[in-house]
Amino acid sequence: MKCTGLVRFLKYASIAFSWVDLPAPSKPSRTINILQNYIKKTLSVFYYFCFMNISFPAIMGVVNCTPDSFYAGSRAMDPASALDRIANMLQEGAAIVDIGACSTRPGASWPSPAEEWNRLEPVLKLAKENYPDILFSVDTFRPMIVEKAYSILGRFWVNDIFAGNFDKAMLPLIASLDLPWIAMHQEPYQGPRAITLFFQKVSEAADRYGVREFILDPGFGFKKDVDQNFEVLSSLHSLVPRNEKGEPCAPLLAGISRKRMTYLPLGTTPENALISTSALHLQLLLKGVSILRVHDVAHAVQMITLYKKMSIFEH
């Protein structure tokens, strides 16, 4: 649903309100500060998601501009191939397109920052030229890449697998550019409770640095074996810290598409893990995930359509 008039109002209201300070009362008022921050955040977040025409649950399609991603079907070896993949995913119903040029599969060697940017730059330029109104995400943990991508894309999501811990310049940069931040758990696995504590630290860091919008990713497949991945999946509904109203502090994103947990228990391969991926995608939605990061957009969209149909009749 497009809401152009409201979008225009929210866009400028969110900017204008960030310049306004409410009158200071005779005595310091915590309520005034809370109200001011709440309005700022609400206007900004509402504008952003309305402007990008996103409704949850949403699909994030994956474009890997790298020769060594674990699933060959996601690789785009040149800018034209990447653009074709973007076009197909958008036609199939992706709300967000995640573009990366550094494989993070176990055992992969990272390209240099210069090589990562050489892979990304032509793809981002083509993507922006052909789809100026589409929401893009850039999968990187390097501040240099974020800054350069911003010069091409403008506002986008930063998909950071190290949650700001690889380079301490990342969070100040994200805050200064006012970019949404996807923060992923990638610490040695110590159980679901440790992930909740990690997410709490992410929330506190976002608040401390002034990152207004962030999304949490439990990091399926990162420093977790298959059984641990399933333990995380079963605990998703309780992983996200909640505010005083009992509401989650941020949306959840999950990427399990064709990963080991979808095929090793079945004795098969990533290429034969479409049905099992779809089955686990449904479980993710039932556990409260808002964004699915996927390789196969059309199948994920079909699954979400049926999930929404089922939800109508639940009480």
Please tell me whether residues 39 and 168 are part of one structural domain: no
Task: Supply the pTM of this predicted model.
Answer: 0.82
Please tell me whether residues 114 and 249 are part of one structural domain: yes
Please tell me whether residues 307 and 176 are part of one structural domain: yes
Please tell me whether residues 203 and 258 are part of one structural domain: yes
Please tell me whether residues 17 and 161 are part of one structural domain: no
The Cα 152–Cα 219 span in angstroms is 28
pLDDT for 163 equals 97
The Cα 302–Cα 35 span in angstroms is 40
The Cα 46–Cα 67 span in angstroms is 38
Please tell me whether residues 77 and 20 are part of one structural domain: no
pLDDT for 103 equals 78
Residue 87 in contact with residue 46, Cβ under 8 Å?
no
Residue-level pLDDT, tens digit, the chain, 315 residues = 334 344 444 444 444 444 444 444 444 455 555 455 545 444 444 444 443 457 899 999 999 887 655 555 555 678 899 999 999 999 999 999 999 998 776 666 788 999 999 999 999 999 999 999 999 999 999 999 999 999 999 999 999 999 999 999 999 999 999 999 999 999 999 999 999 999 999 999 999 999 999 999 999 999 999 999 999 999 999 999 998 888 899 999 999 999 999 999 999 999 999 999 999 999 999 999 999 999 999 999 999 999 999 988 876
Please tell me whether residues 103 and 183 are part of one structural domain: yes
CATH number at residue 268: 3.20.20.20
Please tell me whether residues 140 and 34 are part of one structural domain: no
Q: CA 153 → CA 77, 119, 144, 147, 197, distances in Å?
A: 21, 15, 14, 10, 33
Q: The tokens 């900004």 sit on which residue?
A: 44
Please tell me whether residues 1 and 69 are part of one structural domain: no
Q: How many domains does the chain have?
A: 2
Please tell me whether residues 234 and 175 are part of one structural domain: yes
Please tell me whether residues 102 and 167 are part of one structural domain: yes
Q: Show the tokens assigned to 28.
A: 């310091």
Over the chain, what HEC string results?
CCCHHHHHHHHHHHHHHCCCCCCCCCCCCHHHHHHHHHHHHHHHHHHHHHHCCCCCCEEEEEEECCCCCCCHHHECCCHHHHHHHHHHHHHHCCCEEEEECCCCCCCCCCCCHHHHHHHHHHHHHHHHHHCCCCEEEEECCCHHHHHHHHHHHCCCEEEECCCCCCCCCHHHHHHHHCCCEEEECCCCCCCHHHHHHHHHHHHHHHHHHCCCCEEEECCCCCCCCHHHHHHHHHHHHHCCCECCCCCECCCEEECCCCCHHHHHHHCCCHHHCHHHHHHHHHHHHHCCCCEEEECCHHHHHHHHHHHHHHHHCCC
pLDDT for 65 equals 86
Please tell me whether residues 24 and 65 are part of one structural domain: no
Query: Domain limits at 239?
Result: 56-312
